[in-house]
């Protein structure tokens, strides 16, 4: 299978053109890393308490517009929060959501997907029903219930709630992959030699799945961020310091467009765009890793 050759090529070989180094993948990773690094630098250099309400003067424009000041280089919004501080705090929060949702749904997806795909039968039926059920429940309903019980909603709690329902997709994807891989020659050989099931699953099949898993991870992370951004727009996200998504939605509710306060919604939008485009490029890049036939195709 193409996947096997691929992994053997990629791991530890000194190939001049490893498929993992294709420009799209690299560009995407660089973009995401850029956001991360810049925000980490910002955390050290800038005063992030300015992201709290009532900490700065209201409605200042960025410093290059008359009326702006270097004390708040990207301007402020109508609750007295500094935009630069918001971006510095919000960027990592967004990435954190992606990470938590991505990892959680991947871990659950791997465990359940392998179980369902490899073991089949009743196990498969149960897991499939569970995932179908999870698909139909709006995460909003769960979020509202939980927000009534937690003291203050924070990023981790919200991410876990999104992940709670996001695992259904990866589970199905991995299950489908496992199903087709199950019939491959090397797996049948492994079963014939009576190797223990976990060994087969993790030592034989998993390495070949890695590219798919990586692509799925990116997809979950991206989808998770999107879902969280939407939930934050409803005002149910982390309360004290809004994430990027909440900042944009507060900008809309505060009539920022009308008031000409383009920096309020514009700067978080740009950061979000960089993150999403980065993840998207990584996804395309991984797609090429997975499907060697795509590598030569122009465009």
Partner 1 sequence: MRGLSLGYVIRRVGMFFFTIWASATVMFFIPRLAPGDPVSAMVTRLTSQAGRVEGSAALITAWRQRFGLDDPLLVQYLRYLRGMLTFDFGYSLAQFPTEVGAMVGRAMPWTIGLLLISTVLTFLAGTLIGALMAWRRTPRLLRWFLPVSLTFTAIPFYILGIVLVYVFVFALGLFPVSGGYRNDLTPGFDFAFINSVIQHGTLPAMSIVLASMGFWALGMRGMMVTVAGEDYLTLARAKGLRPLDVLFRYEVRNAILPQVTALVLGLGGIVGGTVLVEYLFGYPGMGALLYQGITNSDFTVIQGIVFILILTTVTAVLIVDLIYPLLDPRITYERR
Partner 2 sequence: MTDGINTSGAKDTTTTGGLSRRALLRNAAFTGMSVAPVASLLAACEGSRSDPAGESEQDVKTLLLDHHGGRVQSPDLWNPLVSGFTNNAGFHQALAEPLFILNYESGEIEPWLGESFTSNDTLDVWTLTIKDGITWSDGEAYDADDIVFTIEVLLKNAELNNAAPMQEWVDKVRKVDKTTVEFTLKKPNPRFQLDYFSVKIHSSLVVVPEHIWRGKDPLTFKNYDKKQNWPVFTGPYQLSSASPTRFVYTRRGDWWGAKADFKPLPQPERLEWIVNETEDIRVARATDHQLHSVADLTAGAFESLKARNKDVISWLPEKPYAWSDPCTRLLSLNNAIAPWNDREMRWALNYAIDREEIVRIAYEGTTTPARFFYPNYPAVQEYVNLLESEGLFEEYPILTHDPDKAKQIFESKGYTRTGDGFYRKGGKELRLQIDAPTDFIEIWRYAEVIGEQLQRAGINATVRKLAIATWGDNLGNGRFDAVTDWSACGSVTEPWLSMNLFHARFVVPMGKPSESNAVRWKNAEYSKHVDALANLPLGDKRIEGPFVAAARIWLRELPFLPIAHARKLYAFDTRSWTGWATSENNYLQPTLDWANAHKIIHSLRPAR
Interface positions with partner 1 (CB under 8 A): 125, 128-129, 132-133, 135-138, 140-142, 144-145, 148-149, 226, 229-231, 233-234, 245, 248-249, 252, 257, 260, 262, 265, 269, 272-273, 276-277, 279-280, 284, 287, 291, 293-294, 297-299
Question: What does the per-residue mask of binding to partner 2 show for 101-130, with x meaning CB under 8 A?
Answer: -------------------x----------
Closest CB to partner 1 among 187 and 248? 248
Q: How far apart are CA 244 and CA 226, in angstroms?
A: 11
Residues 68-97 touching partner 2, rule: CB under 8 A, are 78-80
Closest CB to partner 1 among 96 and 269? 269
Closest CB to partner 2 among 40 and 129? 129
The partner in contact with residue 84, picked from partner 1, partner 2, none with C-beta cut-offs of 5 to 8 angstroms by kind, is none
Which residues contact partner 2 by CB under 8 A?
52-55, 58-59, 78-80, 120, 135, 144, 147-148, 150-153, 166, 168-170, 172-173, 175-177, 179-180, 183, 212, 215-216, 218-220, 222-223, 226-227, 230, 234-236, 239-240, 252-255, 257-261, 283-284, 286-287, 290-291
């Amino acid at each position: 299978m193409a996947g096997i050759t691929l992994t053997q090529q990629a791991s530890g070989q000194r190939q001049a053109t490893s498929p993992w180094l294709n420009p799209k993948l690299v560009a995407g990773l660089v973009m995401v890393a850029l956001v991360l690094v810049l925000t980490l630098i910002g955390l050290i250099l800038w005063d992030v308490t300015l992201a709290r309400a009532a900490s700065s003067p209201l409605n200042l424009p960025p410093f290059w517009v008359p009326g702006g000041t270097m004390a708040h280089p990207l301007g402020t919004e109508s609750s007295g929060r500094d935009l630069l501080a918001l971006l510095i705090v919000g960027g990592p929060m967004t990435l954190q959501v992606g990470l938590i949702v991505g990892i959680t749904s991947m871990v659950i997806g791997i465990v359940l997907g392998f179980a369902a795909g490899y073991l089949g039968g009743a196990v498969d039926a149960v897991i499939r029903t569970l995932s179908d059920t999870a698909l139909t429940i709006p995460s909003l309903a769960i979020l509202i219930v939980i927000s009534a019980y937690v003291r203050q909603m924070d990023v981790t709690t919200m991410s876990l709630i999104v992940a709670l329902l996001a695992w259904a997709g990866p589970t199905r994807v991995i299950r489908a992959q496992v199903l087709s891989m199950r019939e491959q020659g090397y797996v049948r050989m492994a079963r014939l030699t009576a190797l223990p099931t976990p060994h087969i699953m993790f030592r034989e099949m998993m390495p070949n799945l890695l590219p798919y898993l990586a692509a799925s991870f990116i997809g979950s992370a991206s989808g998770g961020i999107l879902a969280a951004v939407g939930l934050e727009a409803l005002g149910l996200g982390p309360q004290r310091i809004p994430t990027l998504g909440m900042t944009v939605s507060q900008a809309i509710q505060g009539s920022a467009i009308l008031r000409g306060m383009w920096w309020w919604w514009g700067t978080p939008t740009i950061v979000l765009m960089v993150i999403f485009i980065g993840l998207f490029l990584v996804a395309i890049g991984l797609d090429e890793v997975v499907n060697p036939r795509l590598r030569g195709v122009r465009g």
